[in-house]
Amino acid sequence: MQEEQQPEAAADPMSSSDAPGDGPKGAPSISQNISDADAFKILLEMKLKKRQKRPALPNTVTELNTEDGSKVYVVGTAHFSDSSKKDVVKTIQEVQPDVVVVELCQYRVSMLKMDEKTLLKEAKEINLEKLQQAIKQNGVMSGLMQMLLLKVSAHITEQLGMAPGGEFREAFKEASKVPFCKFHLGDRPIPVTFKRAIAALSFWQKVKLAWGLCFLSDPISKDDVEKCKQKDLLEQMMAEMIGEFPDLHRTIVSERDIYLTYMLKQAAKQIELPRASENEPRKYIPAVVVGVVGMGHVPGIEKNWNSDLKIQEIMSVPPPSASSKIFKFVLKATVFGLLGYSCYRIGHRTVQFVLSMPATQSYLQRLTEMPQQ
């Protein structure tokens, strides 16, 4: 599998100069007289000394290996769990990874640097502006579906008083403390996922799913979240609602399992050591990677790990179906119809009010008398 096959949408969220982990915090100063290669070797040795040969990892961690000896530690998390945050921190501290990959795409990267209070406020506020932005970005059907899923997330947020994505923010912080640790976004872009999901549903399936999402109101406790360590809470709730739609499950879960597996394998390529000169032979060492994903994706990643993955097909967006075109036409017709009827009613009442005014009646009377004169 060649590196150039990696899609542009899955690139690092920041340039190498801004990437976390450019150097260890509190590391001793290194003389400027030594070469970059020597400085790298010194810092790498410090990192390898901190890396545990037999790390004591949480039971939510799955270890996977590549053919060239690289190791990938997949941390299965619940997206609203304090325990998952601790699992992520402990795993990164124990293995001192070269790359950290999280289940986020560039459309959700803002949650990494936002504070908990702001995220709670953002998650609870689902307004017309957000709806317009989602429709503009993803199209009518995909935008509406995104807003309904945000409503599900907001429902969980309101029940627990906890903002989503805490494990990803912890991963971002811990990666910045590890020397030469890169941070990658490993999830498929949201617009692609939603457009493929919508294309997989018939018109009535879309209506039925939207109805179920609109009336989601079951109470959730923190104990329920921790019980869902074997399956992520948000994905479990979605699975219960979309269980009768296998095509939807395939696009939202199974295809993303493949994409996440592909990105983890790309991150686990061997690392080239710096050379003191061009004549020195190239040397490579196995990479250590930590992946942070929802627990519901772990079985799929294990299943696909030894497969030859090609993601071109699951990155394509199919053309709108006939039902989508009909729904879009009906929705537009309904909106414009209601708008036109509202304008008619307002205009009719306004005309009646103006005609009932004494000044207007006097003016009209004068106009009728003019031809007689």
Backbone phi and psi for residue 239, each to the nearest 5 degrees, phi listed first: -60, -35
Nearest to 235, CA basis, from 219, 248, 221 = 248
Residue 206 has pLDDT above 60, yes or no: yes
Backbone phi and psi for residue 244, each to the nearest 5 degrees, phi listed first: -85, 0
Residues 30-51 have a mean pLDDT of 74
Nearest to 268, CA basis, from 309, 227, 312 = 309
Residues 205-242 as b/e (b if ≥16 CB within 10 A, e otherwise) read bbeebbeebeeeeeebeeebbeebbebbbbbbbbeebb
Q: Quick one: pLDDT at residue 222? A: 60
Q: Quick one: pLDDT at residue 23? A: 46
Q: What count of Cα atoms within 13 Å lies in the side-chain half-sphere of residue 108?
A: 21
Q: Quick one: pLDDT at residue 24? A: 46
Residue 169 near residue 111 (C-beta atoms within 8 A): yes
Q: Which of 9-23, 122-136, 261-275, 316-330 has the highest mean pLDDT?
A: 261-275
Q: CA distances (Å), 358 to each of 41, 345, 355, 361, 364, in order? A: 94, 22, 8, 5, 10
Residues 77-103 have a mean pLDDT of 92
Q: Quick one: pLDDT at residue 138? A: 61
Q: Which of 39-53, 59-73, 139-153, 306-320 has the highest mean pLDDT?
A: 59-73
Q: Which of 74-78, 94-98, 107-111, 346-350 has the lowest mean pLDDT?
A: 346-350
Q: Quick one: pLDDT at residue 251? A: 86
Q: CA distances (Å), 236 to each of 147, 320, 364, in order? A: 18, 28, 70
Residue 123 has pLDDT above 90, yes or no: no
More confidently predicted of 108 and 302: 302
For the chain, what is the largest distance between any 2 Cα atoms, rounded to a whole number of angstroms?
A: 111
Q: Quick one: pLDDT at residue 354? A: 61
* Mean pLDDT score of the chain: 75
Residues 147-162 have a mean pLDDT of 62
Q: What is the pLDDT of residues 313-349, one digit of tens each?
A: 999 886 765 655 565 666 566 666 766 666 666 666 6
Residue 22 has pLDDT above 80, yes or no: no
pTM: 0.70
How much of the chain exceeds pLDDT 90, in percent? 29
Confidence category of residue 304, pLDDT binned at 50, 70, 90: very high
Residue 1 has pLDDT above 50, yes or no: no
Residue 5 has pLDDT above 80, yes or no: no
Q: Quick one: pLDDT at residue 69? A: 94
Residue 289 near residue 268 (C-beta atoms within 8 A): yes
Where does residue 139 fall: left (phi above 0), alpha (psi -120 to 50 degrees), or beta otherwise?
left
Q: Quick one: pLDDT at residue 156? A: 61
Residue 153 near residue 233 (C-beta atoms within 8 A): no
